[in-house]
Amino acid sequence: MKTAILGAGAMGALIGSNLHKGGAEVWLVDPFEAHMNKIRNEGLKMYVNENGQKREESVVMNAVTKAEDVGVCEVVIVLVKGMYTASAVEGARALFDDDTLILTFQNGIGNADTLAEIFAPERIGFGVLNLASVLKGPGEIFVNYSTNTPNSNIYFYSNSPVQEKKCLVMRDIIRRGGFLCEYTDRAEEFIWQKLIINAFVNLTCGLTRLTMGQFFDQEDGRALRQGILKELIAVAGAKGIEMDYDQEWQKWEKTMAPLSPSRDHYPSATQDVFNCRKTEADFLNGAICREGRKRGIATPINDTIVQLAHVLENTYDLQYGR
């Protein structure tokens, strides 16, 4: 199955490598020329921590900066940051025809809605990645995930029966590539569960300049996370997605257990702050605020986090006397 990864940074390159190993014809499409050249000519070097066991892998893939070099694909997986979805897709029209399945595995909430404004809604699939990947440099990534848990690495779904056949083929490719994957109508529920972790640590670690574990160990950070979770669960419940506070909190506590490799991880939005880039604030905590406003639910804690993140990313050039 000819598949393009639109946005092939740390996570996109990782997904591309999985699909390549699973037997798909994979094309990475990303404007980071040095990254694409290294992958195409020398291979993507991956420093993998799977279930606590470390190894190195190298995978050579098709990697280009222009969609015109790829042509029409059967599937396009969108992995650019949410605020760039529309512009990235419009700039990559060569990848799509009327039959192309578009899958979003992007962080946060609202990406499928953006794509549905550009393409027919029945062409859209959506899902969530329970994987961690950090770009070390061009053609090199650090990867962390587990395959010895009851949870899948990828959950996804399409509301259109027309796309189900392609989705099931994609599920099988992902499984052959080595990830746990489930095609399920509960995908939106899993997206909101993943949003809990993203809302807990992405912007908060960026604002505090801490790893996930360092932030977890702070008592005031604990109180902040509890407030985030209460607001998120209230909003999700109003959308018909029922989650239990105690159950979700315990999942988080387990994620941050003393020996968990996640403790040393800087989340993606935190990496953006370190590199003075725009964050996905509006698709993370901002999604809780946006969905809350639609339903008349107050979200003051998440509102404050988003406002601070906006101030931070709008003033990089003013900070510390720059």
Class of domain 189-321 (CATH, top level):
mainly alpha
In the chain, residues under CATH classification 3.40.50.720 are 2-185
- Rounded mean pLDDT, 284-310: 97
pLDDT tens for 129-177 read: 999 898 999 999 999 899 998 899 999 999 888 899 999 999 999 999 9
Tell whether the model's pLDDT for residue 322 goes beyond 70.
no
Which residues share a beta bridge with 144? 49, 132
pLDDT tens for 174-190 read: 999 999 999 999 999 99
Q: Which residue has the tokens 């946006």?
A: 290
Q: 311: how many CB neighbours lie within 10 A of its CB? A: 10
In the chain, residues under CATH classification 1.10.1040.10 are 189-321
Tell whether the model's pLDDT for residue 38 goes beyond 80.
yes
Q: Report the distance separating Cα 306 and Cα 308, nearest Å.
A: 5
Q: How far apart are the first and last CA of the chain?
A: 49
- Rounded mean pLDDT, 25-52: 97
Mean pLDDT of the chain: 94
Give the pLDDT score at 315: 95
Q: Please say whether the beta carbons of 309 and 302 come within 8 A.
A: no
pLDDT tens for 268-290 read: 889 899 999 999 999 999 999 99
Q: What does the DSSP assignment read for 71-111?
A: ---SEEEE-S-GGGHHHHHHTTGGG--TT-EEEE--SSSSH
- Rounded mean pLDDT, 41-66: 96
In what order do the strands lie in the sheet containing 181-183? Answer: 62-64, 25-29, 2-6, 75-78, 101-104, 124-129, 154-157, 181-183
Tell whether the model's pLDDT for residue 255 goes beyond 90.
no
Second CATH level (architecture) for the domain 2-185:
3-Layer(aba) Sandwich (3.40)
**pTM metric for this prediction:** 0.91
Residue type for position 51: N
Pair type for strands 44-50 and 140-145: parallel
pLDDT band at residue 259 under the 50/70/90 scheme: confident
